[in-house]
A and B are shown apart, each in its own frame.
Chain A
Amino acid sequence: MQFRVDRQLGFLATVNIAVLVGGGVLVGASFLDIYNLQSMASQVPELGLLALGVMLAMMSGNGGIDLSGIALANLSGVFAYIVVRDHVSADDTPLLFSWAFAGVALLVGLAGGMLNGLLVARAGLTPIIATLGTQLFFTGLAVALTNGSAVSLGYVEPLDNFGNTPMLGVPQCFALFLAVALVLGVVLRFSPFGLRLRLLGSNAKAARFAGIPEKRILFLTYTACGVLASVAGIVIAARSSSVKWDYGSSYVLIAILIAVMAGVRPEGGYGRVICVVLSATALQMLSSLFNFMDISNFFRDLAWGVLLLAFLAQSQFDPRAWFKALRR
């Protein structure tokens, strides 16, 4: 089980370097200076964490997908703030406030993920319907709790530092993202859970006959998705110093795009954490490049849509087979 550099990984690394070089050429040195790199890195985690959730759900197979990610992220931020502000003062004890906020948010994510897990694994709902319903439900709860408006957290120093201040040159939230990705990667690669998840995703029937506890695996997977979403919710709250129900309305698409770009198979059974990380950084750098070049948000959405379709097409297309056919 050594570290493999497959086609997808090599391709994504090339894309990352190409976007960096392209940015340097098109925008100039300001694209490559440490401030811009840090600002780009601090924007990666929210989408990266949601994409990791989508990857887990897709890996479990049987049309697995998590559409409720960003809704749950927003709900955990909203719910945590509303609970914590009544009990802990953000001005007197900012550190306690931050930890309490993060703790409650994680609990909401855990509960939301378990709800998804119960619906998919126990009640036998199709993942699309289950997460579509909970997406509306989570969003609706967040709307109802905030009466539909954004709520400002104010300046809470530890939380703000976590979102915006680099430590040893690395933004703290980006470091957290890398740590989460590392843990998830190790779990998927080396633990029995990871092996079973991949088996279940590639052939559910065979996995059932091999005695793999299908329901428990599915439940754990969707619960993990929920926890990842709530971590994204904490990062969003820390970075924007506010919580609202409609933050990141196009994140459902972009999270799926990152996962598909990373070579995660939508039919299940395959996905690599490192590829998702690289795919998230590539997309973020591309988005920043669009920003530098003053490209409108609408056009950016167009580009994401085209990219998603292009990567779906690319996964169907095997250059080696094509070359072989050409030589014949």
Chain B
Amino acid sequence: MTDMTSPATAPAPLDKPSAARIWHWLLRHPPVFTLIMIVLVCAVVGSINPDFWQVANLFDILRASTVRGLFALGVLVVLASGGIDVSFTAIAAFVMYSITMLVTNWMPDMPMPVILVLAAAGGACFGALNGLLIHSLRAPSLIVTIGTQYVIRSFLLTFVGTALFMNIPVSMESFGKLALFTHHSANGTISVLPASVLVLAVAAVLTWWILQRTLIGRAVYAVGGNPGIAERLGYNLRVVHVFVFAYAGLLAGIAGIMHVSSNRLANPFDLAGTELEIIAAVVLGGARITGGSGSVIGTMLGVVLITLVSNVLILVGIPSTWQLAIVGVFIVLAGAVFSLRPKR
């Protein structure tokens, strides 16, 4: 398929080798491709509507990227191992709602670090359950996690509760108000960069370290590349499956708490249905859905791109009803471009 590019560049014989080389280099470095798309979107939107270049808007995009980014890092690890997870939003909704309920009703003065540890542990338990099921049922992870998504979400709505929590615990609320940086613009509006962005930064570095610097990270890529060979090399498939889904669940639990503290509201119906755009972000960042590839940098760029697309359409006068269709086109385009990559 990649040969198709050479006839197109044939009329300029001098440029041909370099153009083809750039194209090949791009295909090998998908995050650069994502970056180019981000720059293009920014340039187009910024030239149509100069309001785009305000600090407040930049902060908005970073803020909106936090929860998505945490989810996406989990999805990245699962995709790298050759699986797919669609249950993480249900896990996040379950964890955020039941912990808010627990803290509000029984321990109103629980400090934030304890809440975060609880959320991480709860999410990791659900995730580990996913991993165990996928390993022991030997079924495609998409189908298994569709099943667990429904079980977790409807268990929450049937047995835990459906009422909103308008008054969230003090510690979560003050965490949500914590400002990393406050910007006073010339016309008097104040924009705040919340401290939750730091949580995403820590999670990104941790994920990068796990994937690139530890044995389990090597195992994740090896299993994603070819499970049969990885098993013969001595990697334990069960450990890898449980690890990746538990890690995705852990990040989902933390993301749920971030969602509650920044919205100052715990709604059990929230987050459902956002899983597809998260997977889209990771794929836009260059991870193969068949496993064995994907990087933290690419994933973060993919998240920024998806957030940009869903935040800035209004700035250029495209009605928000078109947002879904455009995200869909982006997924298909990214999938098509990346499927041209050389197969190993």
Contact (Cβ within 8 A) A126 B332: no
Q: Does B323 contact A (CB under 8 A)?
A: yes
Name the prevailing secondary structure of the B interface residues. Answer: helix
Chain B residues 146-173 with CB under 8 Å of chain A are 146-151, 153-155, 157-158, 162
Answer yes or no: A51 CB below 8 A from chain B CBs. Answer: no
| Contacts A125-B335, A126-B290, A136-B331 given; does A260 touch B143 at CB 8 Å | yes
Within 8 A of A (CB), among B33-92: 84
For residue A252, CB closer than 8 A to chain B, the reply is yes
| Residue in A closest to B327 when the chains form the complex, CB atoms | A136
Known: A132-B280, A136-B276, A136-B324. A299 touches B158 (CB 8 A): yes
In the complex, the answer to whether A132 meets B279 with C-beta atoms within 8 Å is yes
Asked if A57 lies at the interface with its beta carbon under 8 angstroms from chain B, I say: no
Residues from 306 to 344 in B contacting A, C-beta threshold 8 Å: 319, 321-332, 335-336, 339-340
Question: In the bound complex, what is the Cα–Cα distance between A63 and B336 (angstroms)?
Answer: 17
Per-residue B-contact encoding for A134-154, CB less than 8 Å = 1, 0 else: 111111110110011000000
Q: Are B336 and A119 in contact (CB under 8 A)?
A: yes
CB <8 Å contact, B158 and A296:
yes
A280 located at the interface, meaning its Cβ lies under 8 Å from any Cβ of chain B in the complex: no
B325 engages A129 (CB within 8 Å): no
- The one of A123, A132, A148, A316 in contact with B336, judged by C-beta atoms closer than 8 angstroms, is A123
Chain A: minimal CB distance from B282 (Å): 11
Total count of chain B residues near the partner, CB < 8 A: 47
Is the pair A256, B143 in contact by a Cβ cutoff of 8 Å? yes
A257 to chain B, nearest CB (A): 8
Given contacts A128-B84, A148-B321, A301-B154, contact A137 B328 (CB under 8 A): yes
Question: In the complex, A252 Cα to B146 Cα: how many Å?
Answer: 9
Please pick, from A65, A135, A140, A313, the residue contacting B323 in the complex, using a CB distance under 8 A: A140
Kindly report which residue of chain B lies nearest to residue A257, judged by CB atoms.
B147
A-chain residues with CB within 8 Å of residue B340 when the two chains form the complex: 124
Which residues 98-143 in B have Cβ within 8 Å of A in the complex? 133, 136-140, 142-143
B254: interface (CB < 8 Å): no
Partner of A305, one of B149, B289, B336: B149
Q: Determine whether B283 belongs to the interface, using a CB cutoff of 8 Å to chain A.
A: yes
Verify A132–B276 contact, CB threshold 8 A. yes
A303-328 vs B: 1/0 string, CB under 8 Å?
Answer: 01110110011011000000000000
- Footprint of A on B, CB under 8 Å? 1, 84, 133, 136-140, 142-144, 146-151, 153-155, 157-158, 162, 276-277, 279-280, 283, 289-290, 319, 321-332, 335-336, 339-340
B-contacting residues of A (Cβ < 8 Å)? Answer: 63, 65, 119, 123-126, 128-130, 132-141, 143-144, 147-148, 250, 252-253, 256-257, 260, 266-267, 296, 298-302, 304-306, 308-309, 312-313, 315-316
Identify the 10 closest CB pairs spanning chains A and B, nearest first: A140-B325, A137-B328, A140-B324, A305-B150, A136-B328, A133-B331, A305-B151, A302-B154, A133-B332, A301-B154
Q: Given A140-B328, A253-B146, 19 other A-B contacts at CB below 8 A? A: A63-B290, A65-B142, A124-B340, A128-B142, A129-B283, A129-B289, A134-B332, A137-B325, A139-B328, A140-B322, A140-B323, A147-B321, A256-B146, A266-B139, A266-B140, A266-B143, A304-B150, A313-B137, A316-B138
